Amino acid sequence: MSGGPARILDALRRAGRQPCSGEALSSQFGVSRTQVWKHVEALRTRGYTIDADPGGGYQLSEIPDRLYAEEIQAGLETSWLATEIHYFETVDSTNRVALDLARSGSAHGTTVVAEQQTAGRGRLGRSFFSPPAANLYTSIVLRPRIHTAQAPSWILAAAVSVAQTIEQTLEKPGEVEIKWPNDVLLGGLKTSGILMELGAEATRVDFLVLGIGVNLNLDRNDFPDEFRNRATSLASHGGQPVDRLAFTRRLYGNLEVTLDLCADRGFEGVRAEFDARFQMRGKRIRVLELDGSELRGNALGIDDDGALLLRLETGDVARVIAGDVTLAKESL
């Protein structure tokens, strides 16, 4: 949103509980009172509740449950992340849009957010269930000065930020876990997924696109059958609705801090926060690699570049860069 409605909204927001007369707004912005009324109606169409008293003026009384760019930025405290936001009611994939923006030269921190995805993407070609106006679907263009071998650590840093934000929102830190490399779990159930895609020149990263989906207010009964036993939402787990705007602002703030640490020190900059939530260490796991081969062994931890270290039955240690990880049922 831009132009007249944006200026009227900003004026009403700054006025707080003090009504703004149509005459004062007309004088302030150099437009007719009829135009002021049209701008107010445009805001109401977007879901804003604006009270109007013929003798007292306009007052903003309620904002919509929408992740509008102007609402996110109204309370955002970041220096580079989400200072430019592209908002969509419906989009095929926020990552697709962010990739297009990255390829066209968009700046570090350019952000895409949508209320609904019709073709949301997860890792390994999976789909990501993305119903409207309930969760958070966002993608961010990043331009770190790193080699491609360092890129995997950025998805781990993002998982740390998501986990931190969930803990701060629910005030249940002991119940939040990270499953390597990109899933954040609540009570053992998936509540967030992260997808990273990149563009590179030789061995240098040109850009990263970091896509994050978090289940916030979706009832578990509304998940498709294939997800219901493996996924949850913050609202289902915590027993009350989540303020999506507050969560989004908090996540962007945490992401900026964590990604700056990762840019400065690599995975070592976020290792302590990751390890505190990494519950797979010492457990028997199965890894289905991208070429279809399978590895089984005990998870030892994470290497300096974000690779999963796995002690095989032979005693050898394998480095896993990418793959589908599940807990093995059998014991050693």
Secondary structure (3-state) at 75: coil
DSSP 160-204: HHHHHHHHHHHT-GGGEEEETTTEEEETTEEEEEEEEEEEEETTE
In terms of Cβ atoms closer than 10 Å to its own Cβ (0-12, 13-18, 19+), residue 110 is buried
Q: Model-level pTM greater than 0.95?
A: no
The pLDDT value recorded for residue 332 is 41
Amino acid at 287: V
Secondary structure (3-state) at 71: helix
Amino acid at 204: R
Tokens of 22: 């149509």
The pLDDT value recorded for residue 144 is 95
The pLDDT value recorded for residue 298 is 93
Nearest to 161 by CA among 77, 246, 254: 254
Residues pairing with 111 in the sheet:
85, 140
Question: Using CA atoms, how far apart are residues 277 and 213, in angstroms rounded to an integer?
Answer: 19
The pLDDT value recorded for residue 121 is 62
pLDDT tens column, 95-127: 999 999 999 999 999 999 999 988 866 544 455
Secondary structure (3-state) at 121: strand
> Cβ contacts of residue 17 below 8 Å, gap of 6+?
59
In terms of Cβ atoms closer than 10 Å to its own Cβ (0-12, 13-18, 19+), residue 112 is buried
Question: Using CA atoms, how far apart are residues 19 and 15, in angstroms rounded to an integer?
Answer: 7
CA-CA-CA-CA dihedral for 98, 253, 205, 289, to nearest 10:
-80
pLDDT tens column, 76-97: 999 999 999 999 999 999 999 9
Nearest to 70 by CA among 153, 143, 8: 8
> How many CB atoms are closer than 10 A to CB 242?
22
Element at 51 (helix H, strand E): strand 49-53
Q: Which residues of the chain have pLDDT under 70?
A: 1, 120-130, 329-332
> Mind listing the domains of the chain with CATH numbers?
4-62 (1.10.10.10), 69-275 (3.30.930.10), 284-327 (2.30.30.100)
Residues pairing with 176 in the sheet:
186
The pLDDT value recorded for residue 317 is 94
